[in-house]
Amino acid sequence: MNKKGDISLNIIIMAAVGLLVLVILSVIFIGKMGITSRGVDDCGTKGGSCVAKDPGCNIAEGEKAAPVSWKCFDAATNKQDDNKICCLTI
């Protein structure tokens, strides 16, 4: 039997297994990055409060609030709620 052929076949098999492991790990980490980016953009984690778009950032007398571009998420669906804006007290 030719030893050179055996070594090449082993290398091909190891490369295929390594590539499969790499693909599986990539899928896992890409999914985790989506969860992490939601936490980074979340209004509540940055100290803001989500309010309805219609009245806007109306707050108590003597305080000031400004709308910011952070996202508001619906607690039930865990998706971005486009009917609310994030207000930050300044």
pLDDT, tens digit (0-9, with 9 covering 90-100), for 74-84: 777 778 888 88
Give the model's pLDDT for residue 71: 83
Q: Alpha carbon of 36 to those of 1, 23, 41, 45, 62: distances in Å? A: 54, 20, 9, 12, 36
User: Which carries the bigger pLDDT value, residue 22 or residue 67?
Assistant: 22
Range of the domain at 14: 1-41
Task: Report the chain's mean pLDDT, rounded to a whole number.
Answer: 77
Within this chain, do residues 31 and 55 fall inside the same structural domain, yes or no?
A: no
Give the model's pLDDT for residue 16: 95
Give the model's pLDDT for residue 19: 95
Within this chain, do residues 48 and 69 fall inside the same structural domain, yes or no?
A: yes
The number of folded domains in the chain is 2
DSSP 8-state class, residue 80: B
23-44 tens-digit pLDDT: 998 888 877 665 555 556 778 7
Within this chain, do residues 30 and 49 fall inside the same structural domain, yes or no?
A: no
Q: How far apart are CA 41 and CA 37, in angstroms?
A: 6
Within this chain, do residues 53 and 26 fall inside the same structural domain, yes or no?
A: no
